[in-house]
Structure 1
Amino acid sequence: MPDLFFVLYLNRILKRFMIRKLLLTLLLLYVVKMNAQQDNSRFAVGFNYGFGSEFNNRNYTFTNQFYKVQLYYKLKETKHFQYQILLQPEINFAKHQLLNFYFVKPDTPDYEQKRAEYTQLKSVREYVLNCGFLVRKPIGKGCSVYALASIGPMITDTETERMSKGFAFADVFAIGFSVKLNKVQIDIRPDVRHVSNGGLSSTNSGYNTRNIEFGVSYGL
Structure 2
Amino acid sequence: MKLKLLQVFFLFFFITVFSQENKPTKKWLRIGLIYGYSSQNTVLKQDSDYAYENNIFKISSHFNLSEKGNHVWELLVEPSYYRSKHKLINYWFISHTVSNGDELRAKFMPLKTMNEYVLNLGVNYKYYINPKLSVYALGNVGPMYIDTETERLKKGFAFSDIFALGTNYKINKMSFDLKCMIRHVSNANLQKPNFGYNAVGFEIGTYYEFN
Does the 8 A contact of 1:41 with 1:219 survive in 2?
no
Quote the residue 1:158 is aligned against. 148
- Three-state SS of the structure 1 residue aligned to 2:106 is helix
TM-align CA RMSD:
1.4
Q: Following the alignment from structure 1 to structure 2, what is the Cα–Cα distance between the partners of residues 120 and 136?
A: 42
Q: Give 1 or 2: higher helix fraction.
A: 1
- Tell me which of 188, 202, 205 is aligned to 1:198: 188
AA partner of residue 74 (structure 1): N
Query: In the superposition, relative to structure 1, how do residues 170 and 79 fare at CA in structure 2: closer, same or farther (>3 Å)?
Result: same
Aligned residues: 181
Task: Provide Cα deviations, 1:160-210, integer angstroms capped at 9, x if missing partner.
Answer: 000000000000000010000122110001100000011011200001100
Normalization by structure 2: what TM-score? Answer: 0.82
Quote the residue 2:29 is aligned against. 43
Normalization by structure 1: what TM-score? Answer: 0.79
Quote the residue 2:163 is aligned against. 173
Bigger CA radius of gyration = 1
- Tell me which of 72, 75, 86 is aligned to 2:65: 75
Q: Following the alignment from structure 1 to structure 2, what is the Cα–Cα distance between the partners of residues 158 and 97?
A: 12
Q: Following the alignment from structure 1 to structure 2, what is the Cα–Cα distance between the partners of residues 89 and 144?
A: 23
AA partner of residue 52 (structure 2): F
Q: Following the alignment from structure 2 to structure 1, what is the Cα–Cα distance between the partners of residues 34 and 206?
A: 7
Quote the residue 2:108 is aligned against. 118
- Three-state SS of the structure 1 residue aligned to 2:170 is strand
Does the 8 A contact of 1:177 with 1:187 survive in 2?
yes
Does the 8 A contact of 1:94 with 1:125 survive in 2?
yes
- Tell me which of 39, 42, 62 is aligned to 1:53: 39
Task: Provide Cα deviations, 1:123-155, integer angstroms capped at 9, x if missing partner.
Answer: 011000000100000112300000000000010
> Tell me, which stretches of 5 or more residues in structure 1 are unaligned?
1-39
Quote the residue 2:15 is aligned against. none
- Three-state SS of the structure 1 residue aligned to 2:105 is helix
AA partner of residue 168 (structure 1): A
AA partner of residue 77 (structure 1): E
- Tell me which of 94, 105, 112 is aligned to 1:104: 94
AA partner of residue 153 (structure 1): P
> Tell me, which stretches of 5 or more residues in structure 2 are unaligned?
1-25
For the pair 1:147 / 2:137, whether they are aligned, the reply is yes
Q: Following the alignment from structure 2 to structure 1, what is the Cα–Cα distance between the partners of residues 131 and 161?
A: 32
Does the 8 A contact of 2:28 with 2:61 survive in 1?
no
Runs of 4+ deviating beyond 4 Å: none
* Percent sequence identity over aligned pairs: 37
AA partner of residue 39 (structure 2): S
Q: Following the alignment from structure 1 to structure 2, what is the Cα–Cα distance between the partners of residues 108 and 85?
A: 46
Q: Following the alignment from structure 1 to structure 2, what is the Cα–Cα distance between the partners of residues 69 and 93?
A: 15
